[in-house]
Chain A
Amino acid sequence: MGVRTPSRVSIQTEDFDLSTEVARLRANEKGVGAVCGFVGTVRDRNDGQSVSTMELEHYPGMTEKAIEDMIDEAFRRFDILGARVIHRVGLLQPLDQIVLVAVTSAHRGESFQACEFLMDYLKTQAPFWKKEQTPEGARWVDARVSDDAALAKWGIRSNNA
C-alpha cells in the first residue's frame, strides 16, 4: 500500500512545492492517469477578525502516525496508486501554504474522492492546533462542527468539535 512512495508524510517548517511533489508521486508510475492535489493556505481574516500571523503546534510522533493511518485507510477505501501529505508547523503568515494533499490513481474519480477524504480526516483527527495573532491579541482557533459533519459523510463519526 503506497510503498513505492519514498515518504508519504512530512511535518515541516519549510514551504513545499506542488509541482515537485506531484512529479515525485508520478515518477515512473505509468499506470497513473489522474493526479488530484489540494493546497490549504493562510487567510488574513477568520471569524470576523484580521489575522497577522498564525502559529501551528503539533504532537510530534502522534501527528505522523495519525496521518499514516489515514493514508492506509484511503488506500483501503479507494483504488489509488500514491498519496502524499505535507503539513507545515511553526509561524506562518497570510498567503503562506499550510497543507498539501496529493493523490494519484488510474482514473480521476478515485483521486478526487481520496483527496477530499484525506483532508476531511486530517481536519478532525490529526493533532494540530492553530493560534492566531489578531489586533485584540492571540487566540486559539476553535474547532468547527462542520468539519465533523464533513467526516461523517464518509461514514466516520467524529466528535472533535
Chain B
Amino acid sequence: MKIQLRYFASIREAIGTGSEATDTASATLGALRDELIARGGAHAEALARGRAVRVSLNQTMADESTALSEGAEVAFFPPVTGG
C-alpha cells in the first residue's frame, strides 16, 4: 500500500528529508519501522532499535502495534519537548 512518511527534529536531520512517499507491505507501525531500518544507511541509524522514537498515524499519537492503512500519513520523531 502507498503511504506518506514524515520525519521531524533530529530524525529529520539524520535522514536528510522531512517527508517521502513509500510503498509498504507492513501491517503495523512497528513493522514499518523495521522495514525502514532494513534499508540501511541513514534510515537504519535514525530509527535504530534502542533509540527513543515516537510515532503518529494520521496526525494522532500512536504506538508500534497500531495498524497501517492505505494512504496513511505516518510520522517518526524523537520525544517531544515543547512548552
- Residues on A lying within 8 angstroms of B by beta carbon are 40, 56-59, 61-62, 65-66, 87, 98-99, 119, 122-131, 140-143, 160-161
Contacts and interface: CB of A to CB of B under 8 A. Distances in A.
Contacts of B77: 59, 127, 129
Given A140-B9, A143-B81, 6 more contacts: A59-B6, A65-B60, A87-B82, A126-B80, A127-B80, A130-B82
Contact of A59 (B8, B10, B52): B8
Contacts, number: 74
Contact of B82 (A126, A131, A140): A126
Given A59-B8, A140-B9, A128 B59 contact: no
Nearest to A125: B61
A129 B8 contact: yes
B30 interface: no
B32 to A, nearest CB: 18
A129 B54 CA distance: 12
Nearest to B63: A159
Given A59-B77, A140-B78, A119 B9 contact: no
Interface residues of B, number: 18
A143 to B, nearest CB: 3
Interface string B41-83: 0000000000010101001110000000000000101111111
A87 B61 CA distance: 19
Interface of B: 6, 8-10, 52, 54, 56, 59-61, 75, 77-83
Query: Which A-B residue pairs are the 7 nearest by beta carbons?
Result: A128-B82, A143-B79, A62-B59, A129-B9, A123-B83, A141-B81, A160-B79
A88 B24 CA distance: 36
Nearest to B54: A160
Contacts of A87: 82-83
A119 B59 contact: no
B82 A99 contact: yes
B82 A129 contact: yes
Given A127-B8, A140-B9, A160-B54, A59 B81 contact: no
Contacts of A161: 52, 79
Contacts of B78: 129, 140, 143
A87 B83 CA distance: 7
